[in-house]
Amino acid sequence: MKKLMRFLGLLMLLVSFALPAAAAPKYVVDRAGLLKPQQAQELRQKLEEVNRKYQVRTFIVTVKSTGEMEAGKFANELLDQVKDKSNQGNMVMLLSMDKRKWYISTDNAMRAKITDEQGIKYLSNQIVPKLKKNNYHDAFLAFIEGTDKMLAYYQREGVPYDPSRGFNPMAAGIALVIAAVIGLLIRHVLIRQMNNVMPALEANAYLDKDSFQLEEKEDNYLYMTVKRVAKSKKSSSSGDSSRDDEHGGGGGGF
Amino acid sequence: MADSSVAYQCPNCGGPLEFQPGSDKIVCPYCDTELDVATVEELFNRKQERAAAAQNAKEEQWKTENAGKEWDASESGHLKAFTCSTCGAEIVCDENTIATECCYCGNPTMLPNRFGGMLKPDFVIPFKKTKEEAVAALKEFYNGKRLLPAAFTANNRVEDIQPMYVPFWLFDSSVHASADFKGEEDTVYETSNETVTETRVYQCIRSGHMDFRRIPVDGSTKMDDTYMESIEPFDYSEMVPFSPAYLTGFLADKYDVSAEDSVERADVRVKKSAEEALAETVQGYDRMSVTDSMVNKEDNQVVYALAPVWILTTRYEDKPYTFMMNGQTGKFVGTLPYDHKKSWMYMLGATAVLTPLLYFAAKLVMK
């Protein structure tokens, strides 16, 4: 435990060290060494631009390990250390490379703009595929662009960005296919109405019910078959969560 | 080794079974189904007996020789036959009737000839429905048909619907039916990580006796059998001994399919209904299907009857469309043309209306 606290304290110190009172904070801290200097610089500039535009404080932090602490708890601790309450929101995106975990931690002000459900899910969809390919620079770029998009939406609309409000091509495709199938069924039913000529396959109407005499009735057990179907295991769609009253966000593996 | 094994099919997968006498279990090498030897032997014996019975049993023949009688000279003198110059259909009517068109092909030119010999019907079911009722039924049949081309109804000559007595063979049959059914009973239970369905399979043996009364098979090749079956049933309680008087003012068709040639169609229906009657006694299973059956006719009679039918054949875009009404019960059947363009418009319209609704539903589900 002491080792863990020491490790965390050290990281806090490193991040805090990069926050001289008068200068701009260091918004990209690549402790895991995933980025080239030029890439880190590019990301830093873009993040500064976004932070300045929306008066928020957003960080990207990579570490080799969070020790025994969960990535979400680690990110929350980190956020508490670096957040500026005078801003319109604070957020930390953390990558922990030993267990290949990512986590985005938000304070309540940012949580109102980037919601735990739709907002984090949207960011997850943008960054996780790139993280899985070890394309960290592009993943962080996607994170910054996604954040920019959602904050701009909030500024413009006054409500958090919800991708489900926008046009969904997949839903449109599914709807079109199902509607076309129903349309074909309706056409088929209308065509069937044009013809009521049906062959008689049986002679039930001519069976003298009173004449029926059952002469043999015997049921013999033959064999048994057994079919086993494995139950589907529910998987957590939102991944790891270390949410509490003070922290929002979400994360998972990659 | 050949004489120490017996080949037999697995009742589950149909694969060949082999078993060693003296053992009490047989396992199918294909599906691993485990069977008792006694069960398999019982199954085998029954099949053998049934096959032997089917091969050896002398098939009871329909007694068709008594169906129909010879015309009296005084009766045939009042009848005339028409042969359609277009389709060759032979139509019979009384001397007072002049057909203005063939009811089969709609051809308006027909030349009457003197009626020639044919069997006299045993019975006739008199017309009960009038021409007004037939026209009203036809118009009602058009109603609500959204794909009906407007030109079809505009040019349709509903008033030309004609009454016709159609020749039918009516088959009486007493049968002994025997069938094997496969009954399946499911028991479902769950373990911590599986849903297990145990299906117990039973062989259900049923046999019984039943009588069928007056199964109709039309005796005219020109009459579409499917149409004739569609206007069934007739109420035989109103069937009366034949008299030429009933033909007055009506067309009548002459049979050109013998009773012997009509037997097969009746037999197929009898077999199906006999199986269904036995199947109704197989109860208490989740699923049931017939695996083997045999129907032996024990006593059979055939009579020749004329049944009343209102018929109209009209043409649209060079294709004939026929409508028929049971002249006794009023049951109306027919085939209408449909407007292909309209049908696709309905399909596209439904798609256009449903797509937005389904889009929002899909978004909700995918959220």
Q: What is the mean pLDDT of chain B?
A: 80
Q: Cβ atoms within 10 A of the Cβ of B80, count?
A: 21
Best residue in B190, B239, B355 to probe A by mutation, most A CBs within 10 Å? Answer: B355
> How close B92 gets to chain A, by Cα (Å)?
25
**C-beta atoms of A220 and B227 within 8 A:** no
> Is A192 in CB contact (< 8 Å) with chain B?
no
Length of chain A in terms of residues written: 254
Six token digits for residue B159: 């008033």
> How close A183 gets to chain B, by Cα (Å)?
4
Six token digits for residue A226: 């057994």
Return the closest-CA partner of residue A17 out of A29, A5, A35, A6: A29
Are the C-beta atoms of B185 and B197 separated by less than 8 Å? no
Q: What is the mean pLDDT of chain A?
A: 86
**C-beta atoms of B355 and A175 within 8 A:** yes
B62-71, B147-156, B190-199: segment of lowest average pLDDT: B62-71
Return the closest-CA partner of residue A200 out of B291, B218, B282: B218
Q: What's the pLDDT tens digit per position in A33-91?
A: 999 999 999 999 999 999 999 999 999 999 999 888 889 999 999 999 888 888 889 99
Six token digits for residue B20: 């060693």
Q: 3-class DSSP state for residue B182?
A: strand
Share of chain A above pLDDT 70, in %: 87
Are the C-beta atoms of A144 and A47 separated by less than 8 Å? yes
C-alpha dihedral (A10, A15, A19, A20), degrees to nearest 10: 30
Of A205, A216, A227, the CB nearest to B207: A216
Per-residue pLDDT for B99 more than 90? no
| Confidence band, pLDDT 50/70/90 cuts, at residue B197 | very high
Q: What is the pLDDT of residue A6?
A: 47
Best residue in B46, B218, B359 to probe A by mutation, most A CBs within 10 Å? Answer: B359
Catalogue the long-range contacts made by A227-233 (C-beta closer than 8 Å, 24 or more residues apart): A227/B196, A227/B197, A227/B199, A228/B194, A228/B195, A228/B196, A228/B197, A229/B194, A229/B195, A229/B196, A229/B197, A230/B193, A230/B194, A231/B190, A231/B193, A231/B194, A231/B195
Per-residue pLDDT for A23 more than 60? no
Average pLDDT over residues A197-209: 90
Q: Which residues from B are below 8 Å from A201, CB to CB?
A: 268-269, 272
Residue with tokens 């956020």: A79
> Is A228 in CB contact (< 8 Å) with chain B?
yes
Per-residue pLDDT for B4 more than 50? no
Six token digits for residue B40: 């398999």
**C-beta atoms of A211 and B42 within 8 A:** no
CA atoms within 13 A on the CB side of B330: 12
Going by the DSSP 8-state scheme, the letter that residue A174 receives in this structure is H
Return the closest-CA partner of residue B84 out of B65, B66, B103: B103
Per-residue pLDDT for A236 more than 60? no
Kindly provide the ipTM of the predicted complex, given to two decimals. Answer: 0.70
| Bridge partners, B202 (sequence order) | A221, B183
> Is B145 in CB contact (< 8 Å) with chain A?
yes
Q: What is the pLDDT of residue B15?
A: 72
Q: Which of B110-124, B296-310, B329-343 has the highest mean pLDDT?
A: B329-343
Per-residue pLDDT for A238 more than 50? no
> Is B341 in CB contact (< 8 Å) with chain A?
no
Q: What's the pLDDT tens digit per position in B208-219?
A: 999 999 999 988
Which domains, and CATH codes, for chain A? 2-17+25-164+243-253 (3.10.310.50)
> Is A193 in CB contact (< 8 Å) with chain B?
yes
- R_g of chain B computed on alpha carbons: 29
**C-beta atoms of B198 and A190 within 8 A:** no
Return the closest-CA partner of residue A25 out of A56, A54, A48, A43: A48
Interatomic CA distance for residues B263 and B59, integer angstroms: 13
Q: Is the pTM of this model over 0.80?
A: no
Per-residue pLDDT for A26 more than 80? yes
Per-residue pLDDT for B29 more than 70? yes
Return the closest-CA partner of residue B91 out of B220, B246, B240, B218: B220
Q: What's the pLDDT tens digit per position in A115-147?
A: 988 899 889 999 999 999 999 999 999 999 999
Per-residue pLDDT for A13 more than 80? no
| Bridge partners, B36 (sequence order) | B25
Q: What are phi and psi of A19, to 5 degrees?
A: -120, 65
Interatomic CA distance for residues B200 and B186, integer angstroms: 6
Per-residue pLDDT for B10 more than 50? yes
Q: Of all residues in chain A, what percent are helix, strand and coil, respectively (each to 5)?
A: 45, 20, 30
Q: What is the pLDDT of residue B107?
A: 59
Q: What is the pLDDT of residue B103?
A: 65
Q: What is the bridge-based pairing of β-strands B123-124 and B287-316?
A: parallel
* Amino acid identity for residue B98 in this structure: I
Of B210, B224, B351, the CB nearest to A212: B210
Average pLDDT over residues B293-322: 88
Are the C-beta atoms of B362 and A179 separated by less than 8 Å? no
> How close A120 gets to chain B, by Cα (Å)?
13
| Confidence band, pLDDT 50/70/90 cuts, at residue A107 | very high
| Confidence band, pLDDT 50/70/90 cuts, at residue B5 | very low
| Confidence band, pLDDT 50/70/90 cuts, at residue B280 | very high
Q: Which helix (H) or strand (E) holds B41?
A: helix B37-56
Return the closest-CA partner of residue B131 out of B163, B154, B153: B163
